[in-house]
A and B are shown apart, each in its own frame.
Chain A
Amino acid sequence: MSTLEPVAVPDKISPEMEQTAKPRRKKKTAAGDAARAISSPWASVAAIVIAVLWTIPTIGLLVTSFRDQRAINRSGWWTAFGDPGAFTLENYRQALAPGSSAGLGQYFINTVVITIPAVALPLFLASLAAYAFAWMPFPGRDALFVAVFALQIVPLQVALIPLLDIYVNKLGFGASYWSVWLSHTIFALPLAIFLIHNFMRELPAELMEAARVDGAGHVTIFFKILLPLLTPALAAFGIFQFLWVWNDLLVSLVFLGGTPDVAPITVRVAELSGSRGSAWYLLSAGAFISMIVPVAVFLALQRYFVRGLLAGGLKG
């Protein structure tokens, strides 16, 4: 890819650059030196090229989602800027309207209803289990923890069809929210338990011991002492799980099919993309309706998310 080229740029080191860049009291890094060695202008150009390449596709579709249906198919979105009057909210109205061919409004609500319990439930279950694995002695604890950790390698594809059979034939859930709530919970547990356990092990043991001496039981310690301390870890994993569930296609497709009663917005947008491949006025608006919440959550809670990612990436 063209984006790989900047590194091949000859290392023209401008000495004054290296020296004068220092009055600001920022952390020194080896990579920063390498970047300056490419000489600042080139490094900036390369960075901007990558940033533009990464951003343009999204902007293109975003602009399209506000253009008139006929204009979309007649000219490129980059030609639209000349005429500010050409922009409209009609595509969004049509995509969301209850009786319209897309009817994304109700699917959006399905996504919300699916996501909230599917985030809360595994968080709570995993922190309970992680607490026991971290601080409660019981026989077979370590072996069980390793087993739970090992389950991370089971791809969810392996479990889908038998689970579907259990829901439909043994439990009678069929295509209901209960199927996806439970499935998302199960699939999230191994990683959640592992990450929260790691976080808990870093808390000082004296904290727990002092509470025990004061006569607090495990239930009290868990709720009164640990849960508040765990907030950053829970927030990080919660955002992860939120994005994963909100953006999921496979689990919903398998357990819910495409019915408007239960199916989430990703399923509907994917369906529109298959059956109405060139209805860009619906597809572009639909894509952004499905993206708005996760992107907002991501932007608002970026710090926690990155922290969770680093905990997961570097430790797990």
Chain B
Amino acid sequence: MVSTVIGAVPAAIPEPFLRAQSVPGKFFLMFFAIFFFALVFGLVLFLASLFKGKNGERVQGALFVGPAVVLLAIGLMYPAILTINQSLRGRSGEGGLTLSNYSAMFTQPELLLVLRNTALWVILVPILATSIGLIYAILIDRARGEAFAKALIFLPMAISMVGAGIIWKFVYQYKQTSRPQIGLLNAVLKLLGFETQQFLINAPLNTFMLIIVMVWIQAGFAMTVLSAAIKAIPDEIIEAAKLDGVQAFKMFRYITLPSIRAALVVVVTTIGIGTLKVFDIVRTMTGGQFDTSVVANEFYSQSFRFNAPGLGAALAVLLFILVIPIVTYNIIQMRKEA
């Protein structure tokens, strides 16, 4: 039902409701949109309120979930099917059925490199971010100024990956060793008597330098979730262990770690999924050049820059395939815990 409403609109959307150049025009557009969506919902709810009784309840249910389900069907399911189809039809995405895009991924050296980089990202980022987050959570637990200490590590989560990319690009900034350094990391190298490095250009070093940026962003997430899990361990268990004379490191190994296992799994997998889809960091910092591309970035390049939408679609499908086992594992773990 909603689909017909939305479908009917655009032909009728006059230019002022579609685009605006002036500031008032843009805000007018925004308020118009909000008003328009409110109107549609008002209509749906009004219709829902007309139906009474047992059968009416079914209709009401359909009206309540309808808009969301229709949007998901048209905006996510249907496009996903189209993309899978396109991935099977050659580089241009328009030929006959073929697996050439998929075989290209596993044979062409440039694309193999992309796969290798992605594997590095997906293995290193969750492990490093989670370890650092866990260590930090433990170190500051019950310390003075805990909330402030947490905010410092957590803040990068609020920063866009574009912003994070620029922050770190500046840390990595290269100048010849003899010249005054403006990038912090090279300044430290120079101070220690080493040659300065082109961190973002020298492969394979550059991939690791990009991975550090993602670790920097994600550690706060890991720290927050793990810190909450640590605080949720029942006091009795800790007291009992103490009475038995269990010492601190054994306590960590045999009580803390097992107690937060579920949270650890969630954190590692969530960061893993986020890392698979990371695109902004690579694009902002190297543009995927100098052997740093990853699947999500290569998807964008192939689809929109190299005019190979079929190959791009295959890369998107690969992302999808890689996410499935991680999510499935997550759900199985959750079931076990429940």
Contact = CB atoms under 8 A, between A and B. Distances in A.
A113 B68 contact: no
A273 B142 CA distance: 41
29 contacts: A3-B135, A11-B248, A13-B247, A27-B235, A28-B239, A31-B256, A35-B142, A46-B135, A54-B153, A57-B170, A74-B182, A75-B180, A106-B23, A109-B23, A116-B34, A117-B33, A138-B58, A144-B69, A152-B327, A155-B276, A161-B79, A161-B82, A161-B312, A163-B79, A182-B75, A186-B76, A250-B279, A314-B228, A314-B266
B59 to A, nearest CB: 8
Interface string B303-320: 110000100110111011
Interface in B27-84: 27, 29-30, 33-34, 37, 41, 45, 48-49, 52, 57-58, 60-62, 64-65, 67-69, 71-72, 74-80, 82-84
Given A47-B143, A155-B316, A273-B166, A33 B248 contact: yes
B120 interface: no
Query: What is the predominant secondary structure among interface residues of chain B facing chain A?
Result: helix
A65 B251 CA distance: 47
Contact of B280 (A43, A171, A178, A250): A250
Contacts of B45: 219
Contacts of A77: 182, 184
Contacts of B159: 58, 247, 291, 294-295
A297 B157 CA distance: 12
Interface string B277-289: 1011001110100
B105 to A, nearest CB: 15
B136 interface: yes
A298 B157 contact: yes
Interface string A247-264: 111100110000001100
A4 B135 contact: yes
- Closest CB pairs A-B (n = 4): A37-B248, A138-B61, A247-B160, A132-B64
A69 interface: no
Interface stretch (A81-89, A202-210, A228-236, A305-313): A305-313
Q: Which of A6, A152, A185, A218 has the most CB of B within 10 A?
A: A218
B26 A129 contact: no
Nearest to B30: A113
Interface of A: 1, 3-4, 6-7, 11, 13, 26-38, 43-44, 46-47, 50-51, 54-58, 60-61, 64, 72-78, 106, 109-110, 113, 116-117, 120-121, 124-126, 128-129, 131-133, 136-139, 141, 144, 148, 151-163, 166, 170-174, 176-178, 181-183, 185-187, 189-190, 193, 217-220, 243, 246-250, 253-254, 261-262, 266, 269-270, 273-274, 277, 280, 283-284, 286-288, 290-291, 294-295, 297-299, 302, 306, 309-310, 313-314
Nearest to A294: B158
A180 to B, nearest CB: 11
Nearest to B230: A31
B212 to A, nearest CB: 8
Contacts of B29: 113, 177
A166 B173 CA distance: 42
A313 B33 contact: no
Range for the number of chain B residues in contact with chain A: 35 or more
A160 B296 CA distance: 12
A128 to B, nearest CB: 5
A187 B68 CA distance: 11
Given A31-B138, A125-B68, A309-B224, A280 B80 contact: no
B62 to A, nearest CB: 6
A13 B49 CA distance: 67
B199 interface: no
B159 to A, nearest CB: 5
A30 B233 contact: yes
Given A27-B142, A283-B166, A158 B80 contact: yes
Given A6-B139, A109-B23, A151 B238 contact: no
Given A77-B182, A159-B80, A284-B170, A109 B26 contact: yes
Given A30-B252, A161-B309, A249-B161, A58 B155 contact: yes
